[in-house]
Structure 1
Amino acid sequence: MGATKPGAKVVVANWGVGFVDAQRRAFFDPFEKETGIKVLIGGTPDLAKFKAQLASGTTDIDLSDLATGWIGPAEAAGLFAKIDRNIVDVSGLPSDAVRENALSYFTGGGGLAFSTDRYGQSKPAPTIWEDFWNVSRFPGRRALYARPVDTLEIALLADGVKPRELYPLDVERAFRSLDKIKPHIKTWYTTGAQPPQLIQSNDIDFAHAFHNRVFSAVSAGAKIAVSPHQNLLARVWTAPLAKSPNPEEAQRLLAFMLRPDRQAEWAKLQAVVPAVPAAMPLVDPNVMKSLPDPAAPDTIMSDISWWGPRLDDLNARFKEWLIT
């Protein structure tokens, strides 16, 4: 690894406010201080944009977070550069967190969220997805993510499919289940920041929400909880883009993000499970209580190998279903 060049920088794409603030504290600011390499934010991840830029031969992003299901199509399209193992030490990662062109740097996800101000012992909240679908027993305003990933799994859980029997997804059954709940969904949200905001502002009562977003909201004083049951988790991936302007700097940032101390700080700030097992003993015990449990018997781990070849078609179908 060479010395830092004058004016060196790396441009990253990530998931915006809240998420980027935590990334700055856990990764970007200490990386800048240690290496002198400036970390710039280049907007949110956009697979279509990345494909168009690669086709044009010019890419302005060096390193990008990835949505569930993107890895297969993106690898097939040649969007990613290889992980440089002379720079990035992957020996501390589980084998299923490492691909030739991408790395998982944490496990995160979401579950059924509700207001602890409005629901509690005297007024029970739904705790599993069958409850969420049961509008007579649990009346209230509902929100779901306007995308097929997670939402199809939720629909099948609501229809009685057991968590360990979800994959391969029965897509037709999932859409039939969604047809039942669709009239009762007040908000189809499009960003992970929305559900805690909507619950806190009393615009909705129940929603699928990401643990890290809820954790951030609760840390700021919001009265929200996520049911521990039927959580939907996934390894969250990042990848260096092919033909990027700052390839070595991207690899160096990747290596830095895998350091156990940085992984533990990331877990503290986002209530996520570190990808590097050596980070777990460093995680604040109070934060550990808020982490989702990948080993819980009713936890679902997203199957990216199932989603990869189907994502584009199901995205298109889901968008059409929403407007019909």
Structure 2
Amino acid sequence: MSSQEQGLAPCRKTLSRRAILLAGLGGLLPGTAMAAHTRKQTRTDKSLHILTFTGSIAQTQSKILFKPYEHLTHQSIVPRGWSGELPELQHLTNPSHQHPAAAMMENSSLRIGCALKLLSRHQTDTSSSNCGLPSASIDYAMAWDKARFESTPSWFDFWDVARHPGRRSLRRDPRMTLEIALLADGVPANALYRTLGTTEGVNRAFLKLEQLRPYIAWWSTPGEAGQILTSGGALMGCVPTGEILGAADAIRQRFGLYWQQRFVVQYGWGVLASAASNPAALAFVSWLEQAAQQQAFANAWPSLPSMAELNALAPGLAHIPPAITIDDTFWENNLSALNERFQQWMRRT
């Protein structure tokens, strides 16, 4: 099920420190009391520096989330782009108003960051989501230059450089990249994590990647994934569907999207440990986790085409099959070891 099909995630039943904070702030909902509170605090509030992803995601967030929040609370939000990699947070441990207070990242990174004490977790937060809740779903799919293909390619065709010469773009991270390699090697979608959970399966994924190594253009952020394709840096590649569907008509018509085996990645917001005592950071992240904000972003972010567009993009496809969900629990438990092997593999000549 895609981000637009899934709807809202179930609300957390346990009372977290963010829920407690929201209760104290009136839930950050419009109202006379809240407005009076925010006006009173305006003079002393500082800008809230945050980390998010560059590209269309940040543009959508700015319009749908950040600007409305600023209007509601009179709290200035200052976003900055980042890669989403946890080592980057390790350099941001000293408290400072110029350092980011919150960051958008994958759910597996949220959990790992919490365990490493890079992110804030209050003693009353007993939820399994650790330091944050899922607040956005992003679909990823293979996109290709339609001028170079007579029919819709698959992940198997993605590896066929003899028939389709040119560069391919993939994520510089084992997450989603190893899953794609296994799909291309014939592993069914419902067996991906069962296969990756074995030594033989991991070896199989890396052997498949090795076949494609000279042809890969690597990307680190969702925005970079879109930029590589639209600039002609790759013939085909893995990209957030919204980077194509939300682009100008010329780009949208230029690229096809492979809907049959796409992925959905869950993202959330974490409060950095250095901002644990900053009520503005806690309030901002709590607001983003509310169902209304989740739905607002899902409505604004173009993950799926209309049926008319789908028929034009992929004739004969009667319906869009459910997306493959990236398994956050698997990656929480295995990212450290698999990323070490991935980085070693990347450094090989």
Taking structure 2 as the reference length, what is the TM-score of the superposition? Answer: 0.73
What's the offset of the Cα at 1:143? 1.9
* 1:193 CA drift (Å): 2.2
> What residue in structure 1 maps to residue 339 of structure 2?
315
State whether structure 2 residue 234 is matched by structure 1 residue 210: no
Q: Distance in 1 between matches of 2:145 and 2:211?
A: 24
Identify the residue that residue 141 of structure 2 maps to in structure 1.
Answer: 111
Aligned residues of 1:83 and 1:240 also touching (Cα < 8 A): no
* Pick aligned residue for 1:160 from 182, 186, 190: 186
The alpha-carbon deviation at position 216 of structure 1 amounts to 2.8
1:301 paired to 2:318 = no
Mapped contact 1:63–1:250 kept (Cα < 8 A): yes
Higher Rg of the two aligned structures:
2
| Higher helix fraction (1 or 2) | 2
Deviations 1:130-161 (A, max 9, x none): 12123334444322222211110001111111
Q: Is the 8 A contact 2:166 2:234 kept in 1?
A: yes
What is the rounded CA distance, in whole Å, between the counterparts of 2:250 and 2:68 in structure 1? 24
Q: Does 1:145 align with 2:163?
A: no
Is the contact made by 2:49 and 2:101 (CA closer than 8 Å) also made in structure 1?
A: yes
- AA of the residue aligned to 1:310: N
2:221 matched to which residue of 1?
A: 191
Report which stretch shifted further, 57-66 or 8-17.
57-66
SS at match of 1:50: helix
Specify the alignment match of 1:254 in structure 2.
285
The CA deviation at 1:186 is 4.3
Distance in 2 (alpha carbons) for counterparts of 1:288 and 1:34: 38
Q: Does 1:65 align with 2:104?
A: yes
CA distance in structure 2 between the partners assigned to 1:34 and 1:106 by the alignment: 21
Q: 1:41 to 1:125 in 2, by over 3 A?
A: same
| Shift of residue 188, structure 1, vs aligned partner | 2.0
Indicate the residue corresponding to 1:47 in structure 2. 86
Shift of the 286–268 alpha-carbon distance from structure 1 to 2, 3 Å rule, reads farther
For residue 68 of structure 1, report the CA deviation from its aligned partner: 5.4
Deviations 1:78-130 (A, max 9, x none): 222247999xxxxxxxx9xx7242111121131111123443xxx1241x211
Q: 1:139 to 1:17 in 2, by over 3 A?
A: closer
What percent identity do the matched residue pairs reach? Answer: 24
TM-score w.r.t. structure 1 length? 0.78
Structure 2: distance between partners of 1:118 and 1:236: 33
Question: Per-residue deviation at 1:323?
Answer: 3.2
Once the 2 structures are TM-superposed, how far is the Cα of residue 62 of structure 1 from its aligned partner? 1.7
Could you report, residue by residue, the CA deviation over 1:302-324 in whole angstroms, capped at 9, with x for unpaired residues?
11111123323322322221232
Structure 1 residue 261, shift from structure 2 partner: 4.8
Give the corresponding residue for 2:75: 37
Structure 2 regions of 5+ residues with no counterpart? 1-23, 26-36, 311-318
- Decide whether the 8 Å contact of 2:262 with 2:324 is kept in 1: yes
- Distance in 1, matches of 2:328 and 2:148, equals 36
Q: What SS class does the counterpart of residue 238 from structure 1 fall into?
A: strand
**Gapped runs of 5+ residues in structure 1?**
87-94, 274-284
Aligned residue runs from structure 1 range 210-249, under 5 A: 210-218=240-248, 221-222=251-252, 223-244=254-275, 247-249=278-280
